[in-house]
Amino acid sequence: MADVKPKLCVREAIRFANHDFLNDLQVLSMYAELGLHDKSKTYIQTVAKRLQMISNLNKLGLPETIEWLLTVSWRFTMFTCDVKSNVTAPMSGECDFALAQYLEKTMLQLVELADITKPQKLYIVVKTTDVDMQLEVDIQGLWQAPLVIERKNECFAVVIENSTVEHVKFQITANRE
C-alpha cells in the first residue's frame, strides 16, 4: 500500500504543523532575499487564508471530522490536498464519527486503486447553512478501477456527481440537528 500514515497523535500533528510553519518562513525569507516584496505579500495572504480556514473549520463542532480534515494532507501524502471552509454554525455531533470514518474509508480505497505515477488531487469544501452541512469532495487522479462510493448512511446523504477512473466528485449533506 502507498504511504498512508495512521491517525496522528498530538505530538506528531505539532511536528507536522511546525514543519509547515518553517517551510512558510523559508519561502518568505527567499522572497525577501530576492527583493520580491509583492510575492512576499501574496504569500503572506495565502498563509493567512489557510490559517483563517483552520479557524473557521473549528467552528464545525465535529472533532473527529475536523481532525480528519486538518490532517488528511499529512496522512495521505500521495494526494495534493486543498480544504476550504465556510462554516457559519456548528453541527450536532451525532454523525461525527460516521462522517470521519466515511471519508477515511473513501481515501483508503483510492490509495489502493491509485496509479502512483500520476498526480492525485483532493479538493474538499465544507459549508454550513441554517439547516445543514455540505461537504463537497472532488478528487482527480488515475485509478485502476472506478471508486465504489456508498450512497446510503443513516447520518447523511451522499450524491455522486461523477465517478470515473480519473475523476470522482460527490457531495455529503447532513442535517444540523
Spatial contact of 143 and 115, defined as CB atoms under 8 Å apart: yes
The whole-angstrom separation of Cα 115 and Cα 109 is 12
Integer-rounded Cα radius of gyration of the chain: 17
Which secondary-structure segment (H or E) carries 152? none
Q: Residue 164 has which C-alpha cell?
A: 470515473
Angle, vertex CA 175, rays to CA 102 and CA 103, nearest 5? 10
* Per-residue model confidence (pLDDT) at position 12: 77
pTM summary value: 0.84
Helix (H) or strand (E) holding 51: helix 37-57
Give me 21's grid cell.
Answer: 510553519
Domains (ranges, CATH) in the chain? 10-175 (3.30.565.30)
**DSSP letter, residue 93:** G
**Distance between CA atoms of 172 and 124, rounded to whole angstroms?**
11
In this predicted model, which residue has the larger pLDDT, 48 or 10? 48
Please give the pLDDT value at position 71: 92
In this model, does residue 9 exceed pLDDT 90? no
pLDDT at 24: 85
Backbone angles phi, psi at 12, to 5 degrees: -65, -40
By C-alpha distance, which of 146, 140, 137 is closest to 118? 140
User: Which of 18-27, 55-64, 119-128, 166-175 is predicted least confidently?
Assistant: 18-27
